[in-house]
Structure 1
Amino acid sequence: MGELVTSQFKLGIIAGGQLGKMLSLAASNWDVKTYILDKDLHCPAAPCSTEVIAGDPLNFDDVYQFGQRVDMVTYELEAINTDALKKLVLEGRPVLPEPEALEVIQDKGLQKSFFSDHDIPTSNYTLFSNKTEIEAAITAGSLSFPFVQKLRKGGYDGRGVSIISSQADLERIFDAPSIVEDPVPIQSEISVIAARNPHGEVKCFPVAEMEFNEQANLVELLVCPSTIDSSIQDEAVAIASHLIDSLKLTGLLAIEMFLDTSNKLWVNEVAPRPHNSGHHTIESIVTSQYEQLLRAIFGFPLGSTHIKMPSAMINLLGEPGVEGPVKYEGLSQCMEEEGVKVHLYGKKTTKPFRKMGHITILAPTLEEAKAKAKSVKSKLKVTSWKSH
């Protein structure tokens, strides 16, 4: 394409959560009309898009008919009916990233096999069909504690993952097709977001380093640039570039990696879309991940990934034990701090650990950004009007 930016172009985005919202906002800068397919007509992306069409991303007819209404289809989640996407492609409708790459990523078993086939470093794993097979392997001595079980399909944001440390944890084993992995002795968790356009140009964003909320298994603090050794960061970027090229994927690929205690990198999981670990790019990088996705799928040259200023990003998660109409406490105090950029996703109801927004903090040094992030986190709470 490359010359498509006109007021008549209709970009279809499957799902209208916070990622769809931020992608729609980026598209509006180029006068691109965005159409959203979502079950909820009042999804976060609704106020920022041209039109929301009610539909289920897993329903063939909903996805196919939606695709026929737009000029190009992209997406902000993995749980999509790929048969409908493939039919659209056969009929000449661009779907990017490509459905074939999405199918590999949708299934963590296929994902792991792909890593192995393309020399991508990943932890040892075994495929199981059900809980009975896993228990039989434990009894036979071919599987020992501890291990990590992940559902092959449907898991996201920490869901569908179970850490089994002893016999006492057996009741937590999922009775569904899954992979079982050896645990990695983790020193750091990092993310690299790679972009690739149809011409094969690849660019990676700087390595981001993540700290997780252990209770929710969600990113609690992200910093960029990373503090790990520069040679390891270069290796992570090389792995990400090789992986997106191997998938022949047009668009964005977020690659989550572990750095183990021996300074070896392991790819954990990937996502073919904008990612929580890239929110900071809106303010801290010359080109945001959302603009980069648009550049990639439209066939434009990829934008600069130069860091404008060190940053820390915190997710705004619903407080434990609180559910109801959302209320943000401490917002004014946080905005008194220089460099604090608040993003609220527009979700009307809060739930425990639900992602309600994020805050990016910019500062001249990473240490200052982290200190301000700690201050902001202590002041800002996501609660409910029901609890007051």
Structure 2
Amino acid sequence: MAKQISDLKLGILGGGQLGRMLIQEAINYNVTSLVLDPDTDAPCKHIANYFECGSITDFDTVYNFGKKADVITIEIEKVNIEALEQLEKEGKQVFPQSRVIRLIQDKGIQKQFFKENDIPTAPFQLVNNKDEMFNSSFSYPYILKQRRDGYDGKGVMRIENQYDIDKAFEGPCLIEQLIDFEKEIAVIVSRNSNGDVKTFPLVEMEFNPEANLVEFLISPSTYPLAVQERAETIAKNIASALNITGLLAVEMFITKNGEILVNELAPRPHNSGHQTIEGNYVSQFDQHLRAIFNLPLGDTRTISNSVMINLLGEKGHDGVARYHGLERVMAIDGVYVHLYGKKYTKPFRKMGHITIVDQNRENAVEKANYIKQTLKVIS
């Protein structure tokens, strides 16, 4: 770019915790941050250089906001693509590119992309309504996903039998074979405009079964090197096939017979990379900035074992957030607290995360289990 990074204005669509952590990293480069979000109390509001309350799905709002920035990025996929396409036509740099966001907004198109590019994924079928589900040849049970607008466990359900179809989602959906997997894993890959590519080491995830949210993440993985390299190669191949500029989180399953299947993609910083802030030489947020500004990509190696825990609002609590047990947690060595600036809690809302760094993996996991039992987000 002709301008230095510190002379540029970065427009971020979405003002949640991902945008907040991206701004916290951008401050180190003197980047001017502009944020658009529909929530008047969005986590980014008080740290962005410019904050605008408005819809990220409205053409005029996104278009007029984008004209204020030099580079535009996202922290959520549900944005107005047509406005981004128009901004690109007028010379604005949008990363990830609007065509990438359009593909990933629709899980059906995303699955077809996997199939066309020989990317391993679970067998699937696209359906437009419940009648097509009744006529499907898929055996029960299977997973049903809304093609659009699902996130953080929403828009996903398990169909046990034909009677469950009556309470299935309306509209276009994706039927996916239920995978008997051993572990959910993720690889985050970065790619700049020069075509330089780097992956973060494979991480292992454990999900909250009720909320279907990542609750526990361990880095680096203890899977054999050959498995890790295979997962990283899959992530690199996807980034190259998309010709993406920016960060791409690739969520995958490892089956009980050792097969790796791609589940979903996220073209932005992701929950599976939060531990990189303390656990790796470069964080996912720093790497995303390097990629979209076409700078040299950073060193993705791990510094130490790290475990990340999502802080979710407790069941039965809805109101002004309080963090019970925070002082006891902060007394533990190697513990890093990240609160997201959300005033109100509700059940399973992401309120923050904790990263535990320890040279001894077992110690890190032990501390994580203690924190999970001790620190509660209540009202």
* TM-score exceeds 0.5: yes
TM-superposed deviation, 1:365: 1.7
Trace 1:288-367 onto structure 2 (pairs within 5 A).
Answer: 288-367=283-362
> What's 1:14 paired with?
13
Give aligned pairs, total. Answer: 379
1:118·1:246 contact (CA, 8 Å) conserved in 2?
yes
For residue 269 of structure 1, report the CA deviation from its aligned partner. 0.1
Q: 1:354-387 deviations in whole A, cap 9, x for unaligned?
A: 0000000000121111100001111100000xxx
Distance in 2 between residues matched to 1:68 and 1:197, nearest whole Å: 22
Q: Do the aligned residues in 2 keep the contact of 1:162 with 1:172 (CA within 8 Å)?
A: no
- CA pair 2-363 structure 1, distance change in 2 beyond 3 A: farther
Could you list the runs of 5+ residues in structure 1 that have no partner in the other structure?
none
Partner of 1:98: 97
Q: What SS does the aligned partner of 1:13 have?
A: strand
The answer to whether the 8 Å contact 1:329/1:383 transfers is: yes
Per-residue CA deviation, residues 73-99 of structure 1 (Å, 9 max, x unaligned), is 001000011000000000001101100
Superposed, 1:137-156 pairs within 5 Å as 137=136, 142-156=137-151
- What residue is the counterpart of 2:233 in the other structure? 238
Q: Name the CA distance, whole Å, in 2 between partners of 1:133 and 1:306.
A: 47
Deviations 1:323-371 (A, max 9, x none): 0110100000000100000000011110100000000000012111110
Report whether the alignment pairs 1:282 with 2:281.
no
In structure 2, C-alpha distance between the alignment counterparts of 1:206 and 1:41, rounded to whole Å: 37
| C-alpha RMSD over aligned residues | 1.0
1:3 deviates by 5.2
Relative to structure 1, is the Cα distance of residues 2 and 172 closer, same or farther in structure 2, using a 3 angstrom cutoff? farther
Report Cα offsets for 1:195-219 as digits up to 9, x if no partner. 0000100000010100000000001
Counterpart CA distance in 2 for 1:5 and 1:103 is 27
Residue 29 of structure 2 aligns to a residue whose secondary structure is coil
Q: Please tell me whether the aligned partners of residues 224 and 366 of structure 1 are also in contact (alpha carbons under 8 angstroms).
A: no
Instruction: Tell me, yes or no, if the aligned pair for 2:279 and 2:357 is still in contact at 8 Å.
Output: yes
Q: Per-residue displacement from partner, 1:20-56 (whole Å, max 9, x unpaired)?
A: 0000010000000100000123210112210111111
Aligned to 2:4: 4
Q: What are the within-5 Å matches in structure 2 for residues 1-388 of structure 1?
A: 1=1, 4-6=4-6, 8-137=7-136, 142-384=137-379
Q: Secondary structure at the match of 1:328?
A: strand
SS in 1 for 2:5: coil
Cα deviation, residue 166, structure 1: 2.1
8 A contact 2:133–2:165 mirrored in 1: no
Q: Secondary structure at the match of 1:382?
A: strand
**Runs of 4+ in structure 1 over 4 Å off:** none
**Separation in 1 of the partners of 2:284 and 2:2?**
18
For 2:8 and 2:148, locate their aligned partners in 1 and report how far apart those are by CA, in whole Å: 33
How many angstroms apart in 2 are the aligned matches of 1:167 and 1:96?
42
**Matched residue SS, 1:268:** strand
Three-state SS of the structure 2 residue aligned to 1:113 is helix
Structure 2 unaligned segments of length 5 or more: list them: none
Residues 130 and 165 of structure 2 are in contact (CA less than 8 Å); yes or no, is this contact kept in structure 1? Answer: no
Q: Is the 8 A contact 2:310 2:350 kept in 1?
A: yes
Tell me if the contact between 1:41 and 1:52 (Cα under 8 Å) persists in the aligned partners.
Answer: no
SS of 1:47's equivalent in the other structure is: coil
CA contact (8 A) 2:134 2:162 kept: no
Provide closer, same or farther for how the CA distance between residues 343 and 2 of structure 1 changes in structure 2, counting only shifts above 3 A: farther
Question: Using the alignment, how far apart are the partners of 2:22 and 2:31 within structure 1?
Answer: 11
Render the CA deviation track for 1:130-150: whole Å, top value 9, x for unaligned: 11211233xxxx232111111
Superposed CA deviations along residues 117-172 of structure 1, whole A, max 9, x for unmatched, are 111000111110011211233xxxx2321111111100001110111112342333
Shift, 1:295, TM fit: 0.2
Cα deviation for residue 10 of structure 1 reads: 1.0
3-state secondary structure, aligned to 1:194? strand
Matched AA of 1:37: L
Whole-angstrom CA distance in 1 between matches of 2:347 and 2:94: 35
